[in-house]
Amino acid sequence: MTAMTMAGAINRGMRAAMERDPKVLLMGEDIGQLGGVFRVTDGLWKDFGPDRVMDTPLAESGIVGTAIGMAMRGYRPVIEIQFDGFIFPAFDQITTQLAKMHYRSRGLINLPVVIRVPFAGHIGAVEHHSESPEALFAHTPGLRIVSPATPQDAYDMIQQAIASPDPYLFFEPKARYWDKAEVDEARVATQLSGEHGASAATAELSRGRVAREGKDVTLVAYGPTVRLAMQVADVAASEGRSIEVVDLRSISPLDSATVVRSAKRTGRVVIVHEAPTAFGTGAELAARVMEQAFFHLHAPVLRVGGFSTPYPGSKFEHDYLPNLDRVLDAVDRVMTH
């Protein structure tokens, strides 16, 4: 076990993937000698060289298009989009090419591209630096979308995504980059060295986890809001309420089965994410819970998220984002039924 920050865990995970497979290479703006804006690629350019850790022009559509071409020739590109709001120039390449090439070719072409996206708020940034666009991509068939909440998951999931034959958007909660925890480096290495390593990695990446067991309310989160959910569970416990926290990990596909099992146990569900609640991941998940666990529910499924406005300036982001009081209020409301 080694203590790592989330940023350090992603770095170590990419290093392990590059050592395991010479076809894995990194691309992005300022990821080389600088090590990236958040220093997530720090040291990799020095150890692997500019042919495998490539600084690119400021052209996100060109970066993704180049990665698609390289994947068609057998490489495994890992792209860094410098900030979440900068991904939109590449939206066309991601949704019309990357997501559809495997289907369009009737399975003849695989595109093992991983797009790393530092996303979400709580860093006091300027416009276009705190977006949560995951639902836009989850609506597009052919893409897999995941978000780690802990250093252990960050270390494991980046390697699993790189090993998979499918294209991944890897949403990294940048406000959690400096969270530190113990990481077991052996587990994922054993999985990937097995005969069915790639398929096992893809299957595991599609599963959520119960981060904390409880019996009164199921609180569902992913990425940046998992720590908030755990804090809510702590406060609720001091008030005599037992909260079960489910970390989705995967946004597409959604592991609704894990959430539904929890909902049937508790009878109450609250979903929290930083993205606007309108048309978001929580809306899709709430619909599935209502369809599959309706007769077990004691209250309507509630969602807590960002408001239906553009992301505000840094002085107001704490008014916009879900916080302890807003989530506890939702817990109170489902408990009154």
Q: pLDDT at residue 87 above 80?
A: yes
Q: Which two tokens stand for residue 51?
A: 């042919």
pLDDT digits (tens, 9 = 90+) for 125-135: 888 899 999 99
Q: Cα-flanking dihedrals φ and ψ of residue 218, to 5°?
A: -95, 120
pLDDT digits (tens, 9 = 90+) for 197-226: 788 888 889 999 999 999 999 999 999 999
Task: Report the percentage of the chain scoring pLDDT > 70.
Answer: 100
Among 161, 185, 205, identify where a domain stops: 205
Q: What is the pTM of this model?
A: 0.96
Q: Cα–Cα distance between 64 and 169 in angstroms, integer? A: 12
Q: pLDDT at residue 195 above 80?
A: no
Q: How confident is the model at residue 150 (pLDDT cuts 50, 70, 90)?
A: very high
51-78 mean pLDDT:
97
Residues 130 and 195 in one domain: yes
Question: Alpha-carbon dihedral of residues 8, 12, 13, 17, nearest 10 degrees?
Answer: 150
Count of CB atoms situated within 10 Å of the CB of 187: 12
pLDDT digits (tens, 9 = 90+) for 132-147: 999 999 999 999 999 9
Residues 47 and 146 in one domain: yes
Whole-number average pLDDT of the chain:
96
pLDDT at site 196:
77
3-state secondary structure of 210: strand
Q: Which two tokens stand for residue 100?
A: 């559809």
pLDDT at site 312:
93
Cα→Cα distances 272→91, 178, 192, 230, 332, Å: 25, 22, 32, 12, 14
Q: Catalytic site residues?
A: 129
For residues 82 and 119, is the Cβ–Cβ distance under 8 A? no
Helices (H), the chain: 6-20, 44-48, 60-72, 91-92, 101-104, 134-138, 151-163, 186-192, 197-205, 226-238, 256-266, 281-293, 317-320, 324-335
pLDDT at site 292:
97
CATH of the domain at 26: 3.40.50.970
Q: Which two tokens stand for residue 57?
A: 């022009």
Among 205, 220, 248, identify where a domain stops: 205
Q: pLDDT at residue 310 above 80?
A: yes
pLDDT at site 13:
97
Question: What one-character-per-residue DSSP string does 20-67 give?
Answer: H-TTEEEEETT-SSS--TT-TTTTHHHHH-TTTEEE--S-HHHHHHHH
Residues 110 and 258 in one domain: no
Q: Cα–Cα distance between 248 and 266 in angstroms, integer? A: 17
- Which of 20-29, 149-158, 181-190 has the weakest average pLDDT? 181-190
Position with higher pLDDT, 204 vs 53? 53
Q: What range does the domain containing 14 cover?
A: 2-205
Residues 49 and 162 in one domain: yes
pLDDT digits (tens, 9 = 90+) for 248-277: 999 999 999 999 999 999 999 999 999 999
Residues 118 and 233 in one domain: no
- How many CA atoms are closer than 13 Å to the CA of 337, on its beta-carbon side? 17
pLDDT at site 197:
77
Among 179, 205, 231, identify where a domain stops: 205
Residues 53 and 181 in one domain: yes
56-60 mean pLDDT:
96
The owner of tokens 């978000």 is 147
Q: Cα–Cα distance between 171 and 147 in angstroms, integer? A: 5
pLDDT at site 16:
96
Task: Report the percentage of the chain scoring pLDDT > 90.
Answer: 91
Residues 78 and 14 in one domain: yes
**Residue 154, amino acid:** A
pLDDT at site 330:
98
